């Protein structure tokens, strides 16, 4: 009888604790600024002894761009995490974590030409050189937190400094940016890609994939990318081929894979197999790489509508300076608190 009463009291305490989290529906401190939004408690599985162990250790905000969702966290909050890669895997797990296509860590920039630094991690825990959607979500977070007010924002990434121009902000967590994501590189060694001999450009290059020959166009767009042109997505097992190409021996750092169907000179359609993430609705860098691949193969102009499962992305590969410019949105999804963040 006594043990049953104790169990009832412990469950009541946990319900009260969760209720307190849910009641915090207006503001909490996130780094340097105050953020509005509902709070979601995410962490380890709760048990009857949880009330003695629970502690709030990390705050985050989740954003999405074209269905590509990212958890945005202030870098200083993960300083004590034992294994960053394992934490990212747990955080991105859609059953046992917060669930996301990746994590964006915002911190101080080392480059004097940047305002902030952003590190992007894939859901498998690996760090990416660049993510068009991930860095855009990070940019949106900085405006949402009111940590940045200027119309132009410069973010330092592993692939260099990318520039965001804020075009729309409705004040309710919905943003539109024009982003300059850098210049593509084509040399096989820069991608990197192993070829029979060094190539200045890798176009229509034959690779043997699970017993069949696939012709690819490869390039570096912040990350290694490999484009395959198709007539019909239904006539090719693109998921199987994408999985095999991602880890193909020709790509020592693995690669993103874009399956591209050209509609006309200004419209292409994509299916995406992303390095470290698998099938995704959308990817900014993959969309940019697909545009560049289409242009250098003479299939399209430089001003392209890219149709992904996550929505329409407008991309221009500028001839004046070789910059690839993507116009896209980023929307807040929810804010939350991660429990026991330092544990792996």
Q: Give me the residues paired with residue 223 across strands.
A: 221
All structural domains of the chain with their residue ranges: 2-180+331-339, 202-322
Residue 302, classified by CB atoms within 10 Å of its CB into exposed (0-12), middle (13-18) or buried (19+), is: middle
- In whole angstroms, how far apart are CA 337 and each of 47, 62, 74, 251? 18, 11, 12, 38
How many whole angstroms separate alpha carbon 205 and alpha carbon 214? 8
**CA-only gyration radius of the chain, Å:** 22
Judge contact between 287 and 273, C-beta under 8 A.
no
Token pair 């001003």 in the structure block, residue: 303
pTM: 0.78
Each residue's pLDDT, cut to its tens digit, for the chain (344 residues) gives 444 434 444 434 434 433 443 444 333 333 333 333 333 333 333 333 333 333 347 899 999 999 999 999 999 999 888 899 999 999 999 999 999 999 999 999 999 999 999 999 999 999 999 999 999 999 999 999 999 999 999 999 999 999 999 999 999 999 999 999 999 999 999 999 999 999 999 999 999 999 999 999 999 999 999 999 999 999 999 999 999 999 999 999 999 999 999 999 999 999 999 999 999 999 999 999 999 999 999 999 999 999 999 999 999 999 999 999 999 999 999 999 988 544 44
2-180+331-339 and 202-322: same fold? yes
Token pair 């269905």 in the structure block, residue: 67
How many whole angstroms separate alpha carbon 284 and alpha carbon 24? 34
May I ask the CATH architecture of the domain 202-322?
Roll (3.10)
May I ask the CATH architecture of the domain 2-180+331-339?
Roll (3.10)
Residue 192 CB coordination number (10 Å): 16
How many whole angstroms separate alpha carbon 159 and alpha carbon 274? 17
């Amino acid at each position: 009888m006594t043990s049953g009463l104790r169990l009832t009291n412990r469950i009541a305490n946990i319900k009260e604790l969760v209720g307190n989290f849910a009641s915090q529906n207006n503001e909490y401190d996130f780094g340097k600024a105050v953020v509005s939004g509902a709070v979601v408690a995410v962490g380890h599985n709760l048990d009857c002894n949880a009330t003695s162990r629970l502690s709030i250790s990390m705050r985050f905000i989740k954003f999405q761009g074209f269905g590509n969702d990212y958890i945005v966290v202030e870098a200083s909050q993960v300083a004590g995490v034992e294994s960053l890669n394992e934490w990212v895997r747990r955080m991105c797990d859609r059953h046992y974590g917060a669930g996301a296509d990746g994590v964006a860590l915002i911190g101080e920039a080392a480059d004097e030409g940047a305002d902030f630094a952003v590190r992007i991690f894939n859901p498998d825990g690996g760090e990416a050189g660049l993510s068009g959607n991930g860095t855009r979500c990070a940019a949106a977070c900085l405006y949402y937190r009111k940590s940045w007010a200027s119309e132009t924002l410069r973010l330092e990434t592993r692939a260099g400094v990318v520039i965001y121009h804020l075009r729309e902000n409705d004040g309710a967590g919905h943003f539109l940016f024009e982003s300059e994501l850098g210049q593509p590189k084509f040399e096989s060694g820069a991608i990197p890609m192993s070829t029979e001999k060094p190539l200045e450009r890798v176009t229509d290059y034959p690779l043997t994939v699970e017993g069949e020959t696939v012709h690819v166009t490869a390039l570096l767009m912040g990350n290694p990318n490999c484009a395959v042109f198709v007539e019909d997505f239904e006539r090719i097992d693109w998921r199987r081929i994408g999985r095999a190409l991602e880890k193909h021996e020709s790509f020592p750092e693995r690669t993103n894979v874009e399956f591209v169907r050209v509609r006309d000179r200004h419209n292409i359609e994509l299916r995406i197999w992303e390095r470290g993430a698998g099938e995704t609705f959308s990817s900014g860098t993959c969309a940019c790489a697909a545009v560049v691949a289409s242009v250098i193969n003479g299939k399209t102009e430089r001003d392209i509508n890219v149709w992904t499962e996550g929505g329409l992305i407008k991309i221009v590969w500028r001839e004046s300076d070789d910059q690839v410019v993507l116009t896209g949105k980023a929307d807040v999804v929810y804010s939350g608190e991660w429990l026991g963040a330092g544990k792996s």
